[in-house]
């Protein structure tokens, strides 16, 4: 009989959430708002029952209830983000002590229940003042972020052992400037690469500041990364895989781990775009600001084929209507392909847990000495609560498959330190509002945000116990 694989001592089992999706409104005054607040004010009809950012899941007032529930579910870690404007209301300048006090209370509560915090500095919620000044296209936003990071390290550095600088620099800029379904809602890859560059510089700069403090913790970045695959194995398809890996993965991961952009990536960009914002002195910051670990948000694979014809175009099925197809053409780089034999959800995303195994093996080959934390993995669905219960077997099957393949990759030498389900509770999904749900805990927005653990919550609780028993 094959010996059961035992997870390493100290492995983190937890779940994730973000400030702007859970806490409730920071913008009591106009200058305190981040651009998610701005979105709500512009289009309140998009937000379920007017919940919006004003109340959200009300984590600001119910953090102890939520962290206690997480701990009772055998989770020993919680990934959450700090709200930039709660700490620096205008993005720079005077510190808001109320914000500092709030996050100290959250950290106190994590300590009380034996939950390790993994704290993300930035999760999409850029202050309005910085957004209005050009957002991440403006180098000054990079400088503002580094100053914000220094404030956070000063106040919480001795309390937090796991930091992440920014969440999904690839996906944020892809949606802002590629698909155009996030503000500023444009399709212009030249602006995308500029914004991403400044985010990556901000991340590296923050890491440099953290390392100056000689704290005992680890600091990384959260990268949405994909197993890049093809249905055909020939030279043209392998080239498409290579190009897509540059486009989606290595433009973040190489910079974070190796401290430099891939030269092939720079060569491809320089054929079409002005790269004068890439300054020579930045190279030192990138080299010194490498990560201690790589956080990976793993959901599905990216299936590609060679570029054939047509202009760059990115279409996303945002609504889960089951009709609109995801389609991407990146001129001279690659196109997205589709496997008719793989099950997909209503949003056109493959339900393919083995993708995380393939991804982890790729990361081990590319970055053999860098620990990995799976910072997000989950399944969004239009969950229904019937007689006070949410029977989400589809989510259980999905998560169970991913955990299986993560363990298989670890058996083969991949250094994975933790696994976090997205999300701790139901929260706002950018395009689908509060209808599309990812949480282990159901939020009844019509009944004072009542918390109702789903079947997946209990399954995860038992799964964690099962894994720990193996190590007992």
pLDDT in tens, 192-223: 999 999 999 999 999 999 999 999 999 999 99
Tokens of 212: 């100056």
Q: pTM for the whole thing? A: 0.95
Least confident of 175-184, 255-264, 449-458: 175-184
pLDDT at position 52 over 70: no
pLDDT at position 323 over 80: no
Name the residue with higher pLDDT: 51 or 231. 231
CB 203 within 8 A of CB 166: yes
Percent of the chain surpassing pLDDT 90: 79
pLDDT band at 1 (very low <50, low <70, confident <90, very high): very low
CB 91 within 8 A of CB 83: no
Q: What pLDDT, on the 0 to 100 scale, is given for residue 35? A: 72
Residues ≥6 apart with Cβ < 8 Å to 8: 417
pLDDT at position 471 over 80: no
Q: What pLDDT, on the 0 to 100 scale, is given for residue 347? A: 81
pLDDT at position 472 over 80: no
Q: What pLDDT, on the 0 to 100 scale, is given for residue 183? A: 83
CA separation (Å) from 355 to 111, 170, 228, 342, 377? 34, 19, 9, 12, 12
pLDDT at position 84 over 70: yes
pLDDT at position 184 over 50: yes
Across residues 399-407, what is the average pLDDT? Answer: 97
Nearest partner of 257 among 196, 213, 200, judged by Cα: 200
CA pair distance 25, 21, nearest whole angstrom: 10
Q: What pLDDT, on the 0 to 100 scale, is given for residue 435? A: 81
The average confidence (pLDDT) of the chain is 92
The catalytic residues are: 168, 376
CA pair distance 362, 409, nearest whole angstrom: 10
pLDDT band at 17 (very low <50, low <70, confident <90, very high): very high
Across residues 382-407, what is the average pLDDT? Answer: 97
pLDDT in tens, 414-431: 999 999 999 999 998 767
Per-position DSSP letters for 130-158, written without gaps between them = HHHTTGGGSHHHHHHHHHHHHHHHHHHTT
Tokens of 252: 């973040």
pLDDT at position 79 over 50: yes
Across residues 81-96, what is the average pLDDT? Answer: 94
CA pair distance 347, 324, nearest whole angstrom: 8
Q: What pLDDT, on the 0 to 100 scale, is given for residue 315? A: 83
Q: What pLDDT, on the 0 to 100 scale, is given for residue 327? A: 85
Across residues 284-306, what is the average pLDDT? Answer: 97
Least confident of 169-183, 255-269, 453-467: 169-183
pLDDT at position 276 over 60: yes
Percent of the chain surpassing pLDDT 70: 92
pLDDT band at 29 (very low <50, low <70, confident <90, very high): low
CATH label, 12-230+283-300+352-470, candidates 3.40.50.1370, 3.40.50.2020, 3.20.20.80, 3.40.50.740: 3.20.20.80
pLDDT at position 47 over 60: no
CA pair distance 320, 346, nearest whole angstrom: 5
Q: What pLDDT, on the 0 to 100 scale, is given for residue 345? A: 85
Q: What pLDDT, on the 0 to 100 scale, is given for residue 44? A: 66
């Amino acid at each position: 009989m094959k010996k059961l694989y035992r997870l390493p001592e100290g492995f983190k089992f937890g779940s994730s959430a973000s400030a702007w999706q859970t806490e409730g409104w920071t913008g009591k005054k106009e200058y305190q708002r981040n651009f998610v607040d701005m979105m709500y004010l512009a289009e309140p009809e998009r937000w379920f029952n007017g919940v919006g950012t004003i109340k959200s899941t009300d984590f600001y007032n119910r953090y102890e209830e939520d962290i206690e529930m997480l701990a009772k579910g055998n989770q020993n870690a919680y990934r959450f983000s700090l709200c930039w404007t709660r700490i620096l209301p205008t993005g720079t300048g005077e510190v808001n002590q109320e914000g500092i006090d709030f996050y100290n209370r959250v950290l106190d509560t994590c300590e009380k229940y034996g939950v390790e915090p993994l704290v993300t500095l930035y999760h999409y919620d850029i202050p309005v003042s910085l957004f209005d000044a050009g957002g991440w296209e403006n180098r000054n936003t990079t400088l503002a972020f580094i100053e914000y990071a220094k404030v956070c390290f000063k106040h919480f550095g001795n309390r937090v052992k796991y930091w992440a600088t920014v969440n999904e620099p690839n996906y944020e800029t892809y949606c802002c400037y590629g698909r155009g379904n996030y503000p500023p809602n444009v399709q212009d890859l030249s602006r995308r690469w500029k914004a991403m560059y400044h985010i990556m510089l901000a991340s590296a700069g923050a890491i440099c500041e953290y390392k100056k403090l000689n704290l005992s913790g680890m600091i990384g970045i959260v990268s949405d990364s994909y197993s890049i695959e093809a249905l055909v194995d020939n030279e043209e398809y392998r080239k498409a895989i290579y190009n897509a890996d540059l486009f989606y993965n290595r433009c973040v991961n190489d910079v974070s781990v190796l401290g430099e952009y891939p030269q092939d990536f720079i060569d491809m960009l320089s054929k079409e775009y002005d790269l004068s914002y890439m300054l020579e002195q930045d190279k030192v910051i990138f080299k010194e600001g490498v990560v201690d670990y790589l956080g990976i948000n793993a959901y599905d694979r990216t299936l590609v084929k060679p570029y054939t014809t047509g202009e760059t175009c990115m279409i996303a099925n945002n609504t889960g209507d089951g009709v609109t197809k995801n389609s991407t053409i990146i001129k001279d780089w690659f196109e997205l392909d589709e496997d008719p034999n793989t099950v997909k959800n209503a949003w056109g995303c493959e339900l393919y847990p083995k993708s995380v195994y393939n991804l982890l093996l790729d990361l081990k080959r590319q970055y053999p000495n860098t620990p990995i934390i799976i910072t997000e993995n989950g399944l969004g669905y239009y969950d229904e609560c019937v007689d006070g219960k949410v029977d989400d077997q589809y989510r259980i099957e999905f998560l169970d498959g991913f955990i299986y393949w993560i363990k298989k990759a670890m058996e083969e030498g991949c250094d994975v330190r933790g696994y976090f389900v997205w999300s701790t509770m139901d929260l706002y999904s950018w395009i689908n509002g509060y209808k599309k749900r990812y949480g282990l805990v159901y939020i009844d927005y019509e009944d004072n945000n009542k918390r109702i653990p789903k079947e997946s919550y209990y399954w995860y609780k038992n799964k964690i116990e099962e894994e720990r028993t193996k190590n007992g």
